């Protein structure tokens, strides 16, 4: 749970979210940092950009919110990072999205040497709700990618994923200089993309007991209602995963489907945590942001809340230590 560091309570971006309602303060011109009690997530602001970090990772990274960008369309305002999101209501211009991406990277101190080029960080051209994870180097960083995760061990590379309810996961072995960014909607979660990311990091030299994971803001069980047969479909998909760890986790994953107020719910954050733990990551090395994207309309975009026309947040990470110059 979060706590309020002396901030006056008031109506704010956490809306009716039971976990966040006490957090927000009345004034929008804030610079205070919110810190969790149980975990290590913090809400920070820099040059107007509001974002979350987890102290657990030990490298430069951020989970963005919708605050601090230059998008002016109602459904994408303010910090949309997708060139294509918007639906019938229209997408942001490329200039606006590029400026938003630049602001996000700069806010958390990510200033790679290639930032003057035509991209700020590597982000999939299209995410597929797949289990595909690409390995990124300075040579391929500007390519088009159709995937849902990245691994890199280059200090010149920053990788990112886009979400608007789905679960963003950032992983790092800071000592080995290997990081990963994962987009895990329900299909990606059931396919075991989190476990496959860990496997890929190990292949490039990460040490299992050194890997830290931060599970960012995503739709919570408070709002993630699912069909009655969803659980069965989900577990079947887990059993078909390419990841042995994920297949083996399917029985235990069933615990994270509940009925609340007469409606079936799923806890995607908890299932991803289970898969990461089953991969061998220590529980104390996994941080979870409890905030729900659906509940907090002033803070987060939400595909489910906004329908076809929505903006997109970014979760970005680089192997560079927090105190480095690049």
Residue at token pair 């069909």: 227
Judge contact between 222 and 291, C-beta under 8 A: no
**Of 7 and 223, CB closest to Zn ion:** 223
Backbone angles phi, psi at 22, to 5 degrees: -85, 0
**Smallest separation (angstroms) from Zn ion to the CB of 165:** 10
> Between the CA of residue 145 and those of 18, 141, 270, what are the distances in Å?
37, 9, 28
**Of 234 and 294, CB closest to Zn ion:** 294
**Smallest separation (angstroms) from Zn ion to the CB of 145:** 31
**Smallest separation (angstroms) from Zn ion to the CB of 218:** 10
Q: Which residue is nearest to Zn ion (CB)?
A: 292
The full DSSP string for 175-211 is: TTTEEEEEEE-HHHHHHTHHHHHHHHHHHTT--GGG-
**Of 162 and 305, CB closest to Zn ion:** 305
**Smallest separation (angstroms) from Zn ion to the CB of 140:** 38
**Of 40 and 222, CB closest to Zn ion:** 222
Helix (H) or strand (E) holding 247: helix 244-253
What is the token pair recorded at 119?
A: 């991209």
Chain residues binding Zn ion by CB under 5 A are 220, 222-223, 292, 294-295
**Of 24 and 294, CB closest to Zn ion:** 294
- C-alpha to C-alpha distance for 22 and 112, rounded to whole angstroms: 37
Residue at token pair 């040497």: 113
- C-alpha to C-alpha distance for 248 and 58, rounded to whole angstroms: 30
**Of 128 and 223, CB closest to Zn ion:** 223
**Smallest separation (angstroms) from Zn ion to the CB of 287:** 19
CB atoms within 10 A of CB 6: 7
**Of 120 and 292, CB closest to Zn ion:** 292
**Smallest separation (angstroms) from Zn ion to the CB of 295:** 3
Pairing of the two strands 149-152 and 133-136 = parallel
Full 3-state SS string of 68-119: CCCCCCCCCCCCCCCCCCCHHHCCCCHHHHHHHHHHHHHHCCCCCHHHHCCC
**Smallest separation (angstroms) from Zn ion to the CB of 184:** 17
């Amino acid at each position: 749970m979060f706590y309020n560091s002396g901030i006056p309570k008031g109506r704010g971006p956490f809306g009716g979210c039971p976990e966040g309602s006490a957090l927000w303060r009345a004034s929008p011109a804030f610079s205070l940092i919110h810190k969790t009690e149980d975990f290590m997530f913090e809400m920070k602001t820099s040059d107007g950009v509001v974002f979350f970090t987890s102290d657990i990772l030990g490298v430069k990274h951020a989970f963005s919110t919708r605050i601090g960008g230059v998008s002016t369309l109602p459904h994408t305002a303010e910090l949309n990072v997708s060139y294509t999101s918007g639906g019938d209501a229209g997408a942001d211009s490329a200039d606006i999205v590029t400026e938003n991406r630049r602001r996000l990277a700069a806010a958390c101190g990510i200033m790679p040497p290639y930032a003057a080029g035509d991209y700020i960080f590597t982000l999939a051209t299209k995410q597929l709700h797949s289990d595909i994870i690409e390995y990124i180097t300075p040579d391929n960083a500007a390519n088009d990618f159709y995937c849902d995760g990245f691994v890199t061990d280059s200090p010149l590379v920053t990788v990112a994923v886009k979400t608007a309810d789905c679960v963003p996961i950032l992983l790092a072995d800071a000592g080995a200089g290997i990081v990963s960014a994962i987009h895990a909607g329900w299909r990606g979660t059931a396919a075991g993309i989190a476990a496959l990311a860990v496997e890929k990091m190990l292949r490039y030299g990460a040490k299992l007991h050194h890997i830290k994971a931060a599970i960012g803001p995503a739709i919570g069980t408070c709002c993630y209602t699912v069909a009655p047969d969803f659980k069965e479909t989900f577990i079947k998909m887990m059993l078909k995963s390419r990841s042995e760890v994920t297949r083996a986790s399917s029985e235990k994953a069933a615990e994270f489907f509940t009925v609340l107020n007469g409606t079936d719910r799923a806890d995607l954050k908890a299932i991803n945590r289970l898969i990461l733990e089953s991969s061998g990551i220590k529980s104390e090395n996994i941080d979870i942001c409890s905030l729900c994207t659906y509940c907090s309309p002033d803070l987060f975009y939400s595909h489910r809340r906004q329908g076809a026309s929505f903006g997109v947040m970014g979760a970005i990470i680089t192997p560079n230590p927090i105190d480095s110059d690049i």
